């Protein structure tokens, strides 16, 4: 289908009639375009009907699997073809480092040396889709004027043809992707002459021919002998699928790297039990040639392979990236991100320690670190002015990655670093850029000298893009979390006033899941020689709930101060809540304490029942009479209950966050809490409050706020 728009790419209109187009318009236009600029692969996208989505219509030069994650692309997605349509411009990515910086999600999946251009297929008023074409990594870093002119003109011609097809109600039928023609299966057909086949058969090393999908179309006898699989079982299969000990994503990745970069790649693999084989891939636009030989001086080759041969193996597989991306979405706070990088990324890239740097008020700020034996080595950078010349400040202010393979290289550029050695031997400084903004810098430290080849730099820079997005969310979360709980703390009592004949202790713990502010509250109010205590919970977890909580607490204080009895305090507060029109409810428990006469009068509005521990250690759940939640019924009446409060008795008031958890029965939770209170109720009140809260700790954190108020009658 063809989507059209007037001025904006997102406004689309589908073709309506159904008549056949005689030639494959898109694939032929794309192939001609690629031929003009000597590109080796490309694709055409068309705007979908009724959706702001680009759909891949045809791909030329490579299997579509290479672009599988981008078969359908939203117009707002951070990918070149979407940017080209949305901004109506040519998008140029000159190599793997630039791809890692501009489009880290693509670079993580395809960390290979190649260049890419994306252009809109559009007339002055209508956008139909986009095109991208790619070149091998040997392409110059800039697009030439000739290439730019040819590509722009070709996309303009394609847009004009699509416009005419739409005007004539001629739809585009599905077109097949264009790849190289199928290779002949026979050796003589492949090599041209029988004598050539005999020559290949006599070679002491193995030779295979692979098509663009990686399927073997020819293998000589030496290849079959070295691999240990008959030629008949190899033909038509992919090497990493038909040979069990090559069934590793790293080996398939070498095929992808060769085909996309059009540069030869190699790897060494162990054929069990102890034979090392060397594989080298020679790509072209029609397929690949594979040379297989026995690997000599394996230990040395392995060191070289780890060190920096001409095509080092990929550090992180696609499956690892997907797992990492999923884990990063679950990272909530900055420390979560730091811990995740330490657990998942640092081991994968061989790093032994890391630091995450940010900035605040023109100064360097250490957001987190891991792996340093002496934390002071890192913390000394906290507060350093950004104008100071250090590798950390330079990476943070410029957004340019920096790699130092040994201390000599670092000290040559930054002599001041010589005075403060940290015990490490190599470093990578990766800018963390999200939404076009520098949010921090990740410093990876290595225990030994560590060269950083081009593809490793690209992978690290790409990972930095994923980490940056998580860090941006985490910094925002931490700021909101701090603001929310600062507001919560401001609305709660800073300290409990001394009361005649009563000792008191309170605890408030915010939820650990989510970052919304809660509505839990408590208070103690001296009143005419007696005292009042209140605890409650406003429905919801937001600023509205917190504000309403503050109003309720103030109202209870006011009604208590003017001498209203407990039932009237509850009734007046209920009417106030309804008059405010907040559409929120609140539970509440109000007590008028009279320690001189050893009693307490209580009123309850839908709140969990308090616990009373008597001086002899027995614990009772006070199932008090009461009324509905505050804010529901303006005519509600709240009954009161008088309870004996002998010297040494302890009242435990709490909100439901203390006893509620998924999969736990409330009655069982209350019984457990009562057993703990019976066992340790003689402890000093502050220690008792801590122990009660700790006893209800949940392994996955609190899903709700917790407020606890303890009252003990003195003798």
pLDDT confidence of residue 589: 94
Coil, helix or strand for 685?
helix
What is the reported pLDDT for 685?
94
Q: Could you tell me which residue, 105 or 577, shows the higher pLDDT?
A: 577
> Which fold is adopted by the domain 194-295?
Beta-Lactamase (3.30.450)
Residue 675 predicted with pLDDT over 70: yes
Q: Which of 654, 561, 579 is nearest to 611 (CA)?
A: 654
Q: Is the pLDDT of residue 225 over 70?
A: yes
The pLDDT of residue 465: 78
What predicted TM-score, i.e. pTM, was given to this entire model? 0.49
pLDDT confidence of residue 134: 95
Question: Residue 307's pLDDT is what?
Answer: 41
**Residue 348 confidence (pLDDT) above 80:** no
Q: 95 pLDDT exceeds 60?
A: yes
Alpha helices in 492-512 (DSSP H): none
Average pLDDT over residues 1-6: 40
Give the residue-averaged pLDDT of 470-479: 74
Determine the topology of domain 25-168 in CATH. Answer: Beta-Lactamase (3.30.450)
Whether 701 has a pLDDT exceeding 70, the answer reads no
Residue 673 clears pLDDT 70, i.e. is over it: yes
> What integer is the mean pLDDT of 595-606?
89
For residue 161, pLDDT beyond 80: yes
Q: How high is the pLDDT of residue 316? A: 54
Q: Which residue has the higher pLDDT, 119 or 22?
A: 119
State which H helix or E strand residue 403 sits in. strand 402-404
**What integer is the mean pLDDT of 86-90?**
94
Q: What's the pLDDT at 651?
A: 95
Confidence band (pLDDT; 50, 70, 90) for 44? very high
Instruction: Read off the pLDDT band of 661 (50, 70, 90).
Output: confident
Mean pLDDT of 599-620: 92
Q: How many CB atoms lie within 10 A of CB 169?
A: 11
pLDDT band at 326 (very low <50, low <70, confident <90, very high): low
List the single range of 352-366, 561-575, 679-693 with lowest mean pLDDT: 352-366
What is the predicted pLDDT for the residue at 119?
A: 97
Using pLDDT thresholds of 50, 70 and 90, give the confidence band for residue 489. Answer: low
Among the ranges given (28-32, 43-47, 526-530, 658-662), the one the predictor scored with the smallest mean pLDDT: 526-530
pLDDT exceeds cutoff 60 at 557: yes
Residue 433, pLDDT score = 81
**407 contacts 446 by C-beta, under 8 angstroms:** no
Q: How much is the pLDDT for 303?
A: 44
Residue 347: other Cβ atoms inside 10 A: 10
CATH number of 321-483: 3.30.450.40
Q: pLDDT digits over 166-216, tens only?
A: 888 877 778 888 875 444 444 434 445 566 666 676 677 899 999 988 899
pLDDT beyond 80 at 329: no
- Helix (H) / strand (E) element for 34: namely helix 25-37
Q: Which residues contact 440 (CB under 8 A, 6 or more apart)?
A: 356, 357, 358, 359, 367, 396, 432, 468, 471, 475
Question: What is the fold, at CATH topology level, of the domain defined by 492-713?
Answer: Phosphatase 2c; domain 1 (3.60.40)
- Quote the radius of gyration of the chain (alpha carbons, Å): 35
pLDDT of 8 reads 43
DSSP 209-246: EE-TTSBEEEE-HHHHHHHTS-HHHHTTSBHHHHSGGG
pLDDT at 705 over 90: no
| pLDDT at 305 (0 to 100) | 42
Residue 198: asked if its preceding bond is cis (omega within 30°), the reply is no
pLDDT value of position 195: 60
Instruction: Name residues whose C-beta falls within 8 Å of residue 469's C-beta, 6 or more positions apart in sequence.
Output: 328, 434
Same fold, 25-168 and 321-483: yes
Residue 351 or 528, more confident = 351
Percentage of the chain surpassing pLDDT 90? 29
Q: Identify the H or E element spanning 100.
A: helix 96-102
Domain ranges of the chain: 25-168, 194-295, 321-483, 492-713
The pLDDT mean for the chain works out to 81
pLDDT of residue 511: 66
pLDDT at 654: 93
Tokens standing for residue 357: 């740097």
The more confident residue out of 315 and 300 is 315
Average pLDDT over residues 38-47: 94
pLDDT confidence of residue 194: 61
pLDDT at 184: 40
pLDDT at 14: 40
């Amino acid at each position: 289908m063809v989507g059209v728009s007037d001025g904006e790419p997102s406004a689309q209109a589908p073709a309506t009639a159904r008549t056949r187009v005689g030639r494959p318009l898109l694939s032929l236009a794309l192939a001609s375009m690629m031929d003009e600029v000597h590109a080796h692969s490309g694709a055409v996208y068309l705007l979908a009907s009724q959706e702001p989505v680009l759909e891949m219509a045809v791909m030329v030069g490579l299997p579509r699997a290479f672009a599988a994650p981008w078969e359908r692309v939203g117009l707002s997605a951070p990918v070149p073809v979407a940017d080209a349509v949305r901004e109506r411009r040519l998008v140029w990515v000159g190599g793997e480092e630039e791809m890692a910086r501009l489009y880290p999600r693509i670079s993580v999946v395809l960390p290979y040396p190649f260049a890419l251009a994306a252009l809109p297929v559009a007339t002055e008023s209508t956008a139909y889709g986009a095109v991208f074409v790619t070149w091998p990594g040997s392409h110059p870093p800039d697009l030439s004027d000739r290439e730019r002119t040819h590509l722009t003109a070709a996309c303009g011609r394609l847009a004009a043809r699509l416009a005419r097809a739409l005007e004539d109600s001629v739809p585009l039928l599905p077109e097949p992707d264009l790849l190289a023609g199928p290779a002949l299966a026979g050796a003589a057909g492949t090599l041209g002459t029988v004598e050539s086949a005999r020559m290949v058969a006599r070679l002491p090393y193995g030779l295979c021919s692979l098509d663009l999908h990686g399927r073997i179309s020819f293998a000589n006898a030496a290849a079959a002998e070295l691999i240990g699989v008959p030629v008949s079982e190899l033909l038509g299969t992919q090497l990493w699928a038909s040979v069990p000990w090559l069934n590793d994503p790293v080996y398939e990745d070498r095929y992808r790297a060769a085909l996309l970069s059009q540069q030869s790649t190699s790897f060494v693999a162990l054929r069990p039990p102890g034979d090392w084989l060397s594989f080298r891939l020679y790509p072209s636009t029609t397929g690949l040639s594979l040379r297989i030989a026995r690997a000599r001086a394996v230990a040395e080759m392995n060191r070289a392979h780890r060190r920096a041969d001409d095509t080092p193996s990929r550090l992180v597989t696609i499956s690892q990236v997907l797992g990492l991306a999923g884990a990063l979405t679950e990272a909530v706070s900055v420390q979560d991100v730091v811990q995740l990088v330490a657990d998942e990324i640092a081991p994968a890239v061989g790093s032994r320690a890391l630091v995450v740097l940010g900035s605040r008020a023109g100064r360097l700020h250490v957001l987190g670190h891991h792996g340093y034996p002496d934390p002071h080595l890192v913390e000394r950078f906290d507060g350093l002015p950004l104008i100071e010349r250090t590798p950390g400040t330079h990476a943070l202010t410029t957004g340019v990655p920096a790699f130092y393979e040994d201390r000599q290289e670092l000290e040559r550029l930054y002599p001041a670093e010589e005075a403060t050695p940290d015990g490490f031997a190599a470093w990578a400084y990766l800018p963390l850029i999200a939404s076009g903004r520098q949010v921090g810098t990740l410093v990876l430290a290595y225990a030994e000298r560590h060269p950083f080849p081009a593809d490793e730099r690209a992978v690290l820079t790409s990972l930095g893009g994923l980490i940056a997005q998580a860090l941006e969310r985490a910094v925002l979360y931490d700021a909101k979390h701090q603001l929310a709980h600062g507001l919560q703390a401001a609305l709660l009592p800073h300290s409990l006033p001394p009361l005649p004949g009563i000792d008191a202790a309170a605890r408030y713990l915010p939820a650990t899941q989510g970052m919304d502010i809660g509505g839990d509250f408590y208070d103690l109010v001296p009143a005419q020689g007696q005292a009042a205590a209140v605890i409650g919970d406003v429905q919801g977890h937001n600023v509205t709930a917190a504000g309403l909580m503050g109003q309720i607490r103030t109202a209870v204080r006011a009604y208590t101060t003017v001498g209203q009895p407990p039932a009237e305090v509850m009734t007046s507060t209920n009417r106030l809540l309804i008059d405010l029109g907040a559409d929120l409810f609140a539970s509440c428990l109000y007590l008028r304490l009279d320690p001189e006469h050893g009693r307490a009068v209580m009123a309850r509005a839908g709140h969990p029942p308090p616990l009373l521990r008597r001086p002899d250690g027995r614990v009772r759940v006070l199932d008090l009479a009461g009324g509905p939640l505050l804010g529901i019924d303006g005519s509600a009446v709240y009954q009161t209950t008088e309870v004996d409060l002998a010297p040494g008795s302890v009242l435990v008031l709490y909100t439901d966050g203390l006893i509620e958890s998924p999969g736990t029965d409330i009655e069982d939770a209350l019984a457990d809490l009562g057993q703990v209170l019976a066992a340790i109720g003689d402890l000093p009140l502050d220690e008792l409050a801590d122990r009660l809260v700790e006893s209800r700790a949940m392994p996955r954190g609190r899903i709700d706020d917790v407020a606890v108020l303890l009252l003990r009658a003195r003798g």
